[in-house]
Structure 1
Amino acid sequence: MDSQKKLLIALIVACSSLGASVLFSVCWWSFHSKRKRRAQRDGAQSSDSEEAAMGLSVPSLLDRFSSLKMVNRNVSILVMDLKMLEKATNGFKESNILGQGAFGCVYKGMLDDDMHIAVKKLDCGSQDASKVYEIEVGFLSKMQHQNIISLLGYCIHGEARFIVYELMQNGSLETQLYGSSNGSALTWHKRMKIALDTARGLEYLHKHCKPPVIHRDLKSANILLDADFNAKLADFGLAVTEVTRKKNRVKLSGTLGYVAPEYVLDGNLTDKSDVYAFGVVLLELLLGRRPLEKLAPTQCQSVVAWAMPQLTDRSRLPDIVDPVIKDTMDVKHLYQAAAVAVLCLQPEPIYRPLITDVLHSLIPLVPVELGGTLKTERSAPY
């Protein structure tokens, strides 16, 4: 009996030890499996985050697109054939040119379904041009806002790159202000509407993009107007994210006359740099003058430096307003718009407002029917 008891006890101990070992093995396997899956998931999220921060590269775009790329439920980007674009633009005919930039021209065109388009053709023989192309396609493929130009498609053929946008029938703000019409199509209320639309586009970049985006080349040439003079921001080839800006010292880029002083002098780039450029655009809308005006072949005058003392002088301000809109607005609204411009153009970025504050200051200057809160009497001018 003693032997049987001892044998039974030994069997129980052995079975218990075996069960504990099996249970431990199962728990260890389960723990490491979960840990491995979590690491893979975090790695994928990190990769997606970096891609979102830096913009999709062209090879990445090519890998993911077949003929149609669904960016999200509402946005799709078409990979277009060169022959289709040649046909749409009449072989990139000179008469179809809408504008010219540092790396190529923009052409108007029409697809077979009577859809009007604008095609930017870039010669990417240089590294800078190729980088600009990648950045712009990368950013615009992820953006969707009523005041940001819509990317419809792209095409790669040899060293040539093509970006296809929606066509903006009234061209750029620069063309409207300084072209043959000399701003005659831009009433006071339309100008305030354009300023408000521009501020809304910048607020989307600064506050709603993840990570935030600094446009870095805001100017009247990069503000496009549709058939109803709704404004949209374009040309994102120099745009950077806050992530990129913090990691690397960003090379000085932009357009003379619009670049903030701290960026020129110290290389200090922030969202307040865009606010300064917005102030210059607002000044153009008020005065009808270019940011830099030639006094002589070798001498230029900064309109900001010339205008700032007069913007705060209520007796002098009405005399420097664009003659096209002079005496067509409530003078109180003129003072308010000038005050916003003065704040945006402060030399020290700390004293400039956030673009959200600018936006709220402009809304009361825009009629309700144009997207603001101002109630107007249509019967008689001020």
Structure 2
Amino acid sequence: MKNKGMIDQNIDGQNEDLELPFYSLATIAIATNNFSSNNKLGEGGFGPVYKGILADGQEIAVKRLSRNSRQGLSEFKNEVMSIAKLQHRNLVRLLGYCIEGEEKMLIYEYMPNGSLDSFIFDQMRSNTLGWLMRLNIICGIARGLLYLHEDSRLRIIHRDLKASNILLDSKMNPKISDFGMARSFGGDQIEGNTNRVVGTYGYMAPEYAIDGLFSVKSDVFSFGILLLEIICGKKNRGSFHPEYSLNLVGHAWKSWKEGRTLELIDTCLKDSCILSELERCLHISFLCLQQHHEDRPNMSFVVMMLHSERSLQEPKEPGFYVGKKSPASSKNQSSSTNEMTITLLDGR
């Protein structure tokens, strides 16, 4: 049963009643076959996600707040408040909620192709994502992020943009999901700070991971990581050089500066890519990854660059870790992670 309900929001001192469809626990239990393991789509920091089918045949995705979750009622309310009134083709649509007893659930539109990471980091499935499809995904994510930053009712900073939070619909169109960590601003405010850094290491901007400072530009940094991962088909976290402990950002930057761009491209793209477009996207990713937030473009400029052929400015060095062998270790054996020195930051 679905009713029009009012959920009281009290986040960061804001009080707002949002009218949003309420689904009873009984309705959701029936839709998910009593939260059957066969219906489980995955699990994140919030808790498990289940596929469900309502009585009218509509497919849904149910995020069920785990009792052991690191996130709690405030994150649950935050997600509702952040996304309830957002409408954009590149954002996952929130259909309703359920709060009954100790159960707290969010009901979303179902995305049949799952998350982006299940494609680009899988050797078999990545072959199904040719360059044109990846470019469409890149542009869709950029448009969704632009809407959050500049065109929505409130300015929304996502704070946890990553491949697993990009969902794909039946036509492989991307939709940004998981707004539990998002922060909203009104008026002209574009940044804030926090003593509690949340998100995913490997995608965090330097100023956020170190000092807790977040802004639209910290989301831009995360977009730069995501863009690089889509092009390369590899996760940022990892080591990509035999003599230097470089993560993907460091490896890509070194290769790009040395004119070895082709070595970076996901091997399954070699036959389908338009090299000039791919190199432009790589260039844009480095502009987004610049160490100092004031040097990074905003998302309106990113969208313009993606749809233009105008020349791009040279990026400054990105934020990343560089681990280098010490003289002693190079004579004996490979350096350990304890010998890694930080030049610039990439959260691990």
Cα 1:97–1:119 shift into 2, 3 Å: same
Per-residue deviation, residues 214-245 of structure 1 (Å, max 9, x unmatched)? 10000000011101111111000000123588
Partner SS for 1:218:
coil
8 Å CA contact 1:56–1:134 kept in 2: the answer is no
**How far apart in 2 are the matches of 1:200 and 1:322?**
24
326-335 vs 166-175, which moves further = 326-335
**How far apart in 2 are the matches of 1:187 and 1:248?**
39
Match for residue 303 of structure 1 among 242, 248, 251:
248
Cα 1:290–1:276 shift into 2, 3 Å: same
1:37: which partner in 2?
none
**How far apart in 2 are the matches of 1:145 and 1:174?**
22
Match for residue 203 of structure 2 among 258, 263, 275:
258
1:337: which partner in 2?
281
TM-score normalised over the length of structure 1: 0.72
1:189: which partner in 2?
132
Match for residue 93 of structure 2 among 150, 156, 163:
150
Partner SS for 2:86:
coil
The structure that has the greater radius of gyration is: 1
**How far apart in 1 are the matches of 2:94 and 2:59?**
13
**How far apart in 1 are the matches of 2:33 and 2:256?**
47
Per-residue deviation, residues 58-112 of structure 1 (Å, max 9, x unmatched)? xx45xxxxxxx4xxxxxxx320011111111111111211111113111111111
**How far apart in 2 are the matches of 1:55 and 1:204?**
22
Partner SS for 1:324:
helix
**How far apart in 2 are the matches of 1:224 and 1:112?**
24
1:141: which partner in 2?
84
1:319: which partner in 2?
263
**How far apart in 1 are the matches of 2:256 and 2:177?**
29
Structure 1: 5+ residue runs without aligned partners? 1-49, 62-68, 70-76, 366-382
Partner SS for 1:99:
strand
Match for residue 236 of structure 1 among 158, 179, 185:
179
**How far apart in 2 are the matches of 1:187 and 1:274?**
26
Cα 1:276–1:265 shift into 2, 3 Å: same
Structure 2: 5+ residue runs without aligned partners? 1-8, 310-348
Partner SS for 2:128:
coil
Task: Give RMSD over aligned pairs.
Answer: 2.5
Per-residue deviation, residues 122-144 of structure 1 (Å, max 9, x unmatched)? 03577842111000011111111
TM-score normalised over the length of structure 2: 0.78
Cα 1:127–1:342 shift into 2, 3 Å: closer
Q: Does 1:172 align with 2:119?
A: no
**Matched letter for residue 223 of structure 1:** I
Match for residue 102 of structure 1 among 45, 60, 69:
45
**How far apart in 2 are the matches of 1:284 and 1:156?**
37
Partner SS for 1:273:
helix
Q: Does 1:273 align with 2:218?
A: yes
**How far apart in 2 are the matches of 1:333 and 1:54?**
45
1:88: which partner in 2?
31
2:142: which partner in 1?
199
In the alignment of these two chains, the number of paired residues is 296
Identity fraction in percent: 37
Cα 1:192–1:198 shift into 2, 3 Å: same
**How far apart in 2 are the matches of 1:363 and 1:55?**
38
Q: Which has the higher strand share?
A: 2
Match for residue 129 of structure 1 among 67, 72, 80:
72
**How far apart in 2 are the matches of 1:324 and 1:55?**
48
